[in-house]
Amino acid sequence: MTRALVHLRRAMHWARHAGPARLVLVAAAILGIVAAVRPELLTSQDPNAINAHAILVGPSWSHWLGTDEEGSDVLARIIYGTRLDLLLAVGSAGIAGLVGFPLGALAGYRGGVTDYVLQSFAISTLAFPLILFAVLIVASFGASLLTLIGILAFLFTAQVFTVARAQAKALREREFITAATVSGIRTTHLLRRHLFPNARGPVLVLLPQLMATAIIAEAGLSYLGLGVQPPSITWGTILEASENYYQQQPYYAVAAGLVVTVSAGLLMFAGDVISESLDPRRRRAAAAWPPPRASTAPSGARPAPATKAAGPPSPTSPTRGAASLSPVIAGPGGEGGGSS
Amino acid sequence: MARGLLVVWWVSALVFLALRLTPGNPALLLLGPEARRPGVAHQLVLLERQLGLGRPIPVQYWLWLKPLLEGKFGNSDLSGRPVVSLIGGAAPPTLWLIGLSVLLSVPIAIGLGVVAARFRSSVLDRGVRFVSTLGLAVPPFWLGLLLLLGLAVDAAVLPANGYVSPLTNFGGFITHMVMPVTTLTLYLVAVLTRFVYSEVTESLAADYVRTARAMGLSEMKVVFWNAARNALIPMVSILAASLGPLVGGAVLVEQVFGLGGLGELLLNSVVDRDYAVVQGIVIFLTIGIIVLQGLADVLYRRLDPRVR
């Protein structure tokens, strides 16, 4: 009970110091998760209800965003569509992070032939236009959520790999890594304690951006008829279905597109906010957009709580202390090392 | 050179695996539902032998790769026409769309990015940043549909779809390209502006810019000559890196506006299970991108003495 109270007080403390940008992001994340896990809490309508008497009607009290070509409530469909979109975004970006990050950090740290070969593969994978690659895979494997997650995870892994590798490569030359190497600690320990915590910053910035890409890509593939097939609901399938009704019922089509745009925009914005809060000196704040400053405080220094609060929660404070000895280098955020 | 070989091998292996690791018999897939008919059975056997389906995977891979290396992309399974000529016929609208968008968006992005960086944390800056983040978040084809609705359907200012070759009717070419190019340009401007902004902000804080200001150079000269010039060299790499998304965006956008380019050919081939064409287009575009990225790398090295 007291633990819960402590957490609550911490959360309230965070909320007071977070600033509007972070509050909006957290609110949106909570809304998204609720919509994905318990969509029935947000709407009482059945997303698949067919109603021949209310086809393509405009917004009303019973249908806030109107109805679609089968008389189903558009808002309910959007809410129920969140689940698969979120699963796709989190799944693909998560796999990419879990595979790409250790692989990239290790390759960058070790160097040598393996690094060279892996980097070549990553470069050529990134040369594949996402849509073309997806078309190729879907053409032979068929369209399903798993196929989509696989396609995106594969391409995203190459991206995470490139970023993590560049970061580890830069870290390798730093004194604290040399010192750790010379001190004779085990390599796994060196990686876990010194290399990974310092290399992860740019990857944490990249992950929400990849999630945004996943959502936009899903919409695009659905538009081409290569996405998740009905009766599964995703934002992409809603957008595709709405294509023919722009004139009859603009709310329908505009709402479907706006949901994708706003979600992707918020995710990209989240990447910027993370990038800002990870950079203690904010010297390279230019590497990604700094979010608009709401307070009149000078942009030079910001009180500690904001930086601490937005970072990943660290239950083990001793590790945190050790890690903070080694400074985090903020690399060029989302650009992902285009040159090689 | 070694890297080039690795890249070609990886790309070809990916395409091969994507087309061959299908659940079920690839020969059945290639022949489509017709294959089950009694009269077609011998064709199936023939195709299986031709693809080497009974043999080990590496042998199959080699059998698949060899004609490609010799430049033989085969014929369309559907129309029997050579894949190369099909691609050649469909390429112009796509290439025009991409080329014009790049030409337009580079100066726009430089202008917006430099202005936003110079007047940092002003309304102008915030506006540019907001629009640019928005531009990345909007699905390009949806934006295209909105444009279509506004300009072609209701107002009927511009033709809604189709493509006219610039050689036959230049005016028609322009009017048909306005909306697709605008759609793709908005996306590319968003990508590039973000980049220009961050580079110019960084170089505006550099010592040589302070020196230039101290020497009494005009602000215009400092910003555009000293700060922006250095910051813009890496633009070459960024453009090269955005080629992939650009081609993907072009496929979607041309679908919206019915330009009938490579995207349409690709999608129709997927629907018709015309694998020779699908494979040809994917290889053609990917190799094109890799070659352009290699050229960009060389160009970058020549432009920037620091990388040499």
pLDDT in tens, B201-242: 888 888 888 888 888 888 878 887 777 777 777 788 888 888
Flag whether pLDDT at B20 surpasses 80: no
Pick from A216, A276, A279 the residue to mutate for testing the B interface (most B CBs within 10 Å).
A216
- For chain B, list the domains and their CATH numbers: 2-69 (no CATH), 90-271 (1.10.3720.10)
Q: CA angle A188-A194-A199, nearest 5°?
A: 105
In a domain, A271, yes or no: yes
> Which CATH number is A155's domain given?
1.10.3720.10
pLDDT of res. B254: 85
pLDDT of res. A214: 92
In a domain, A164, yes or no: yes
Residue A299 near residue B121, CB atoms below 8 Å: yes
pLDDT of res. A321: 33
Which residue of chain B has the CA closest to A271? Answer: B133
pLDDT of res. B38: 65
Question: Which of A27-36, B146-155, B170-179 is predicted least confidently?
Answer: B146-155
In a domain, A134, yes or no: yes
Full domain range(s) for residue A203: 84-230+263-287
pLDDT of res. A99: 94
pLDDT of res. B307: 64
What pLDDT band is residue B156 in, cutting at 50, 70 and 90?
A: low
In a domain, A192, yes or no: yes
Residue among B137, B142, B281 minimizing CB distance to A239: B142
pLDDT tens for each residue of B244-253: 888 888 888 8
Q: In a 10 Å sphere around its CB, with 0-12 CB exposed, 13-18 middle and 19+ buried, how is residue B93 labelled?
A: buried
When comparing pLDDT for B157 and A44, which is higher?
A44
At residue B86, what are phi and psi to the nearest 5 degrees? -60, -45
Cβ-defined contact of A339 to B19 (cutoff 8 Å): no
pLDDT of res. A1: 61
For residue B136, the chain A residues in CB contact (below 8 A) are 212, 264-265, 268
When comparing pLDDT for A208 and B125, which is higher?
A208
- DSSP letter at A73? B
Which residue of chain A has the CA closest to B131? Answer: A265
In a domain, A267, yes or no: yes
Pick from A117, A289, A293, A295 the residue to mutate for testing the B interface (most B CBs within 10 Å).
A289
pLDDT tens for each residue of A299-320: 333 333 333 333 333 333 333 3
For residue B245, the chain A residues in CB contact (below 8 A) are 129-130
Collect contacts of A140-143 with beta carbons under 8 A, ≥24 apart. Answer: A140/B18, A140/B19, A140/B20, A140/B21, A140/B22, A140/B29, A141/B22, A141/B23, A143/A221, A143/A226, A143/A227, A143/A228, A143/A229
pLDDT of res. A132: 81
pTM for the whole structure: 0.80
| Number of domains making up chain A | 1
pLDDT of res. A137: 83
When comparing pLDDT for A141 and B109, which is higher?
B109
What pLDDT band is residue B160 in, cutting at 50, 70 and 90?
A: low
pLDDT of res. A181: 81
In a domain, A147, yes or no: yes
Three-class HEC string of B7-62: HHHHHHHHHHHHHHCCCCCHHHHHHHHHHHCHHHHHHHHHHHHHHCCCCCHHHHHH
In a domain, A339, yes or no: no
In a domain, A172, yes or no: yes
Q: Supply the mean pLDDT for chain B.
A: 80
Low-confidence ranges of chain A (pLDDT < 50): 283-340
Which amino acid is located at B165 in the chain?
A: S
